[in-house]
């Protein structure tokens, strides 16, 4: 099985933007205020926005980085040079003129190549070009060939006849990649060549609107037999070579939020354009753009990929197919930018598209773009997931049963009627109670990180180099990374904004106070000590609370937690319920402590010999299994009875609170923050790795109720972590944690996060793959013992299985079994845990359903040939926490 093609999105999520959730009553009021014109709705009133796809895509992390290195010099900016080099490499034209937007480029080309009374001819033009022509006393002749197999073709007979009759009246010929018909339609390469030949014969400039030229080239590659062996970029270059002038809006295929440019090889044209740009746009080296935006466009030109173009095209085609199956009249073929639905089939009246758009918004919060008699559904690039599109389809299906009144115009705007007019319904728009089965992610994608698609041979070489240890793989060799959920979340746009605002002042900064006050409010502990991450909090706590020879009761072990307890001289004791060690058991709270095991320990060694009880919430090594609120109360009462501190590992406490709400009797009607605060109220202190629940990439903290204990921890942390006001962190990380502490308790986010885990688990379970039941909150755990029953545990079956999954699909998982358990410090022999697991850990807000599908297919491929898989031998073993750096090789 070779995943060297974009079966799933060839990117993962880097930054997310929360989606607004308005009630039906709020949407109705918003629609009234907008005059029943969805174009007038504010962005914060729209749940899923498919009205337009220009300038609202998700930029890549490299583009966002480019914004940060913008050279804002008025003249001589290095960003201009970067853009010029990138544009020359893609289009082969010598001279470049940047503009503030595509319409700015359109404007300058019109003024440079035409004069009053002349005519521009070509295929279906943009509305902005038509308005410019009218403003300057020019006209447009649309020669689109409606009968062609390529709906964007120019009618060659009509063009030749026009050139013969009135060549002197024609200024130039323009070809729009994504002609403005039916959501943007292509022209063929043969048609472009014939148009270029006619233009040259009559000495007319040929202009290429290249806003969507990369998608156009992709379609030509797919549909023209003689182009299948050519790359998209070679086809783009061929199209550019035909044109005398190329211009584009960077808000199209390049996915930028602003900007455009013009290219030409003609020095005379360049001089005219350069003279005009300083009048209307800005200096010829920045053209009305900030240096940072020029850099983002340059990066986009370098990064544009066939895989992303193909994936976006596939999303549109699949959406069109599903809507046709529902009975909607979707224009054929699907456009480059979006779909076009005939609204007149569904609603009567001149403004049927506006009425249908209003009804769709009122029902589901989805905004489509009414234009004329059609409702357009444009798909912003890299913004929405499969679940968002499932929701849109479900909404349009439900809309078929909703009465939609026609609209009457009450306020007209002749130049932009579609966008600015106001209407009044000739009937009643009724808010309809609709409970969708599909619950999409409560966020949209703000920034993405490209993924690397590798071949099987490349993965085999990478795994050999890593010594069959997935921890030692380079991230650039990994397609889908399920190694851990620690620090791998996509942060929100709000978190990034807070980070940018944070002042890196010394000592007790405003960022520190914001962090402490938020943790106090959310968790309920008065004393808060930041640390650089969770294991640092474990280190401080263990050294302060444990005397050598004391016992620490835990509900199963976590690797670093146990290591720090034993380093401090503590004796680890597992008092988790027996069901936790049985991967097939369906207990809803397998993370529970066994009160009798705990009581027996206390009676056996004496309460003074128990340093503290460590209760992990959502127990990692048991499969991400939660602890019930009832069990927490019981354990807390037992600790109070014997005067023993109760410390929570509260790293995944928010996910645990969600499981309590979902699974524990009597909890369904309680709010997540309410459950969370009660949960925290039973602990004397907590350690937290903020890299999980708090949705940040680094950070952790300790929080306690006792002032004297806090002072002891504070003094100890000074030696290892940093000042108590920063814990070795930048101040920006403190405010990111503070914001994350609020976002983590959103029930919609938690539902989406935990349902992703359940989705992957269900796909594996259905095929017979043995997993830990029930699925936990952060990962799916495969039972390697049952997956590879022919391998003894000392041949490291989980380690081998993690490697095989990587080879099959480029998916990185990790071992949680004998390698992670380590050796007995007294005997030097392997510890043989009852659970031999492979953990597929799903980062928060990073991957989509299709990524999970790819992972499942790869695992099923391994499952089908499981009997042929041999064991491993360890060839290098470090003294502690060996699972991080040990190396292995396959046994003969």
3-state SS, 685-737, equals EEEEECCCCCCCCCCEEEEECCHHHHHHHHHHHHHHCCCCCCCCCCHHHHHHH
> Using 50, 70 and 90 to split pLDDT, how confident is the model at 809?
very high
Asked if residue 7 has pLDDT above 90, the reply is no
> For 843-866, how does the pLDDT look when each residue is reduced to its tens digit (9 = 90+)?
999 999 999 999 999 999 999 999
Least confident of 163-172, 411-420, 715-724: 411-420
For residues 406-433, average pLDDT = 87
Q: Kindly list the strands in the beta sheet with 245-249, ordered across the sheet, starting from the edge strand earlier in the chain.
A: 95-99, 260-264, 245-249, 206-209, 170-176, 119-122, 139-142
What CATH number was assigned to the domain covering residues 77-290? 3.40.640.10
Report the relative pairing of strands 59-60 and 48-50 from DSSP bridges. unpaired
Asked if residue 877 has pLDDT above 60, the reply is yes
Report the relative pairing of strands 95-99 and 260-264 from DSSP bridges. antiparallel
Opening angle at CA 71, ends 67 and 77, nearest 5: 130
> Using 50, 70 and 90 to split pLDDT, how confident is the model at 2?
very low
User: CA-CA distances (angstroms) from residue 483 to 486, 532, 686, 764?
Assistant: 9, 21, 25, 18
Eight-class DSSP state of 330: B
Q: How far apart are CA 285 and CA 99, in angstroms?
A: 9
Asked if residue 182 has pLDDT above 70, the reply is yes
pLDDT reported for residue 638: 98
For residues 174-193, average pLDDT = 93
For residues 225-254, average pLDDT = 97
> Which regions of the chain carry the CATH code 3.90.1150.10?
20-53+307-440, 453-485+749-890
pLDDT reported for residue 453: 87
pLDDT reported for residue 162: 96
Radius of gyration of the chain (CA): 31
**Domain 453-485+749-890, architecture per CATH:** Alpha-Beta Complex (3.90)
**Which strand (E) or helix (H) includes residue 324?**
helix 306-325
> For 68-118, how does the pLDDT look when each residue is reduced to its tens digit (9 = 90+)?
999 999 998 999 999 999 999 999 999 999 999 999 999 999 999 999 999
Of these ranges, 1-15, 106-120, 403-417, the one predicted with the greatest mean pLDDT is: 106-120
What is the rounded average pLDDT for all residues in the chain? 95
Tell me the three-class secondary structure of 748-770, residue by residue: HHHHHHHHHHHHHHHHHHHCCCC
For domain 506-745, give the fold. 3.40.640
Q: How far apart are CA 430 and CA 425, in angstroms?
A: 11
For residues 258-272, average pLDDT = 97
pTM: 0.91
Q: Above pLDDT 70, what percent of the chain?
A: 99
Eight-class DSSP state of 795: G
pLDDT reported for residue 183: 84
Report the relative pairing of strands 491-492 and 11-18 from DSSP bridges. parallel
* CATH for 20-53+307-440, options being 1.25.40.10, 3.40.50.720, 3.90.1150.10, 1.10.10.10: 3.90.1150.10
Burial group, residue 436, by CB count within 10 angstroms (0-12, 13-18, 19+): middle
Tell me the three state secondary structure of residue 69: coil
Closest CA to 634 of 589, 600, 682, 575: 682
pLDDT reported for residue 858: 96
> Which regions of the chain carry the CATH code 3.40.640.10?
77-290, 506-745
Q: How far apart are CA 790 and CA 800, in angstroms?
A: 13
Q: How far apart are CA 214 and CA 302, in angstroms?
A: 12
Asked if residue 635 has pLDDT above 50, the reply is yes
Tell me the three-class secondary structure of 120-172, residue by residue: EEECCCCHHHHHHHHHCCCEEEECECCCCCCCCCECHHHHHHHHHHHHHHEEE
pLDDT reported for residue 4: 43
pLDDT reported for residue 429: 85
pLDDT reported for residue 452: 86
For residues 433-443, average pLDDT = 89
Burial group, residue 75, by CB count within 10 angstroms (0-12, 13-18, 19+): exposed
pLDDT reported for residue 6: 62
Least confident of 341-350, 530-539, 608-617: 341-350
> Using 50, 70 and 90 to split pLDDT, how confident is the model at 557?
confident
Report the relative pairing of strands 443-450 and 59-60 from DSSP bridges. parallel
**Which strand (E) or helix (H) includes residue 119?**
strand 119-122
Asked if residue 1 has pLDDT above 50, the reply is no
Asked if residue 3 has pLDDT above 80, the reply is no
Q: Are 122 and 154 in contact (CB under 8 A)?
A: yes
């Amino acid at each position: 099985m070779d995943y060297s093609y974009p079966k799933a999105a060839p990117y993962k999520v880097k930054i997310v933007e929360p989606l607004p959730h308005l009630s039906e009553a709020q949407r109705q009021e918003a629609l009234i205020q907008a005059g029943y014109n969805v174009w007038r709705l504010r962005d914060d009133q729209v749940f899923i926005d498919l009205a337009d796809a220009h300038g609202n895509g998700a930029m890549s992390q490299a583009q966002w980085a480019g914004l940060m290195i913008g050279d804002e010099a008025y003249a001589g900016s290095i960003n201009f040079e970067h853009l010029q080099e990138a544009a020359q490499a893609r289009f082969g034209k010598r001279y470049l003129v940047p503009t503030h937007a595509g319409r700015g480029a359109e404007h300058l080309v019109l003024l440079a190549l035409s004069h009053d009374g002349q005519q521009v001819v070509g295929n279906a033009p943009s509305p902005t070009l038509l308005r410019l022509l009218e403003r300057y006393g020019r006209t447009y002749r649309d020669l689109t060939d409606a009968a062609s197999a390529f709906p964007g073709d120019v009618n060659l007979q009509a063009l030749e006849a026009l050139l013969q009759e009135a060549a002197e009246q024609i200024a130039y010929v323009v070809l729009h990649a994504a002609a403005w018909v039916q959501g943007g339609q292509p022209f063929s390469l043969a048609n472009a060549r014939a148009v270029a030949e006619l233009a040259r014969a009559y000495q007319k400039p040929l202009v290429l609107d290249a806003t969507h030229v990369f998608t156009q080239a992709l379609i030509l590659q797919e549909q023209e037999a003689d182009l299948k062996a050519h790359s998209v970029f070679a086809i783009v270059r061929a199209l550019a070579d035909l044109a005398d002038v190329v211009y584009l809006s960077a808000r199209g295929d390049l996915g930028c939020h602003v900007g455009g440019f013009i290219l030409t090889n003609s020095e005379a044209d360049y001089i005219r354009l350069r003279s005009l740009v300083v009048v209307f746009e800005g200096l010829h080296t920045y053209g009305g753009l900030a240096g940072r935006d020029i850099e983002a466009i340059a990066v986009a030109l370098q990064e544009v990929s066939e895989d992303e173009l193909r994936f976006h095209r596939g999303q549109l085609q699949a959406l069109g197919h599903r809507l046709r199956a529902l009975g909607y009249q979707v224009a054929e073929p699907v456009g480059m930018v979006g779909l076009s639905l005939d609204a007149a089939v569904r609603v009567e009246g001149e403004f049927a598209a506006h009425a249908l758009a209003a009804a769709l918004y009122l029902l589901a919060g989805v905004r489509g773009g009414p234009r004329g008699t059609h409702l357009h559904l444009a798909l912003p690039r890299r913004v929405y997931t499969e679940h968002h599109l499932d929701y849109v389809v479900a909404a349009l299906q439900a809309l078929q049963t909703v009465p939609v009144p026609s609209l009457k115009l009450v306020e007209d705007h002749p130049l932009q009627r579609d966008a600015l007019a106001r209407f009044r319904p000739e009937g009643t728009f009724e808010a309809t109670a609709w409970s969708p089965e599909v619950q999409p992610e409560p966020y949209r994608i703000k920034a993405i990180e490209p993924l690397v698609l590798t071949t099987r041979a490349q993965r085999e070489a990478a795994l050999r180099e890593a010594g069959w240890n997935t921890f030692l793989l380079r991230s650039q060799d990994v397609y889908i990374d399920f190694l851990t959920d620690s620090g791998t979340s996509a942060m929100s746009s709000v978190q990034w904004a807070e980070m940018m605002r944070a002042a890196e002042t010394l000592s007790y900064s405003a960022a520190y106070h914001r962090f402490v006050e938020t943790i106090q409010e959310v968790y309920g502990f008065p004393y808060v000590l930041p640390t650089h991450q969770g294991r640092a909090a474990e280190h401080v706590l263990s050294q302060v609370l444990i005397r050598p020879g004391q016992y620490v009761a835990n509900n199963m072990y976590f690797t670093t937690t146990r290591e720090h307890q034993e380093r401090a001289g503590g004796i680890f004791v597992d008092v988790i319920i027996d069901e936790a060690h049985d991967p097939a058991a369906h207990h809803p709270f397998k993370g529970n402590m066994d009160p009798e095991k705990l009581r027996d320990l206390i009676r056996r060694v004496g309460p003074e010999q128990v340093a503290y009880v460590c209760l992990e919430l959502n127990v990692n090594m048991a499969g991400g299994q939660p602890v019930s609120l009832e069990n927490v109360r019981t354990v807390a009462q037992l600790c109070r009875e014997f005067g023993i501190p109760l410390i929570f590992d509260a790293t995944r406490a928010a996910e645990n609170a969600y499981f309590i709400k979902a699974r524990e009797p009597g909890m369904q009607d309680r709010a997540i923050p309410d459950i969370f605060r009660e949960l925290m109220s039973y602990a004397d202190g907590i350690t937290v790795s903020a890299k999980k629940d708090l949705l940040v990439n680094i950070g952790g903290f300790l929080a306690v109720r006792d002032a004297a204990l806090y002072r002891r921890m504070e003094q100890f942390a000074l030696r290892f972590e940093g000042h108590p006001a920063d814990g070795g962190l930048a101040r920006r990380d403190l405010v990111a944690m503070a914001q994350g502490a609020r976002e983590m308790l959103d029930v919609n986010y938690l539902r989406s996060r935990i349902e992703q885990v359940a989705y992957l688990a269900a796909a594996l379970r259905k095929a017979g793959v043995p997993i830990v039941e029930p699925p936990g909150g952060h990962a799916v755990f495969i039972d390697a013992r049952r997956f590879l029953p022919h391998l003894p545990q000392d041949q490291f079956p989980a380690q081998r299985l993690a490697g095989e999954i990587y080879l099959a699909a480029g998916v990185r998982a990790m071992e949680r079994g004998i390698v992670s358990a380590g050796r007995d410090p007294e005997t030097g022999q392997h510890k043989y845990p009852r659970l031999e697991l492979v953990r597929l850990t799903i980062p928060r807000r990073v991957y989509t359903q299709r990524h999970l599908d790819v992972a499942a297919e790869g695992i099923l491929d391994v499952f089908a040939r499981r009997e042929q898989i041999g064991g491993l031998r360890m060839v290098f073993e470090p003294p502690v926490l060996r699972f991080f750096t040990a190396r292995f090789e396959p046994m003969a």
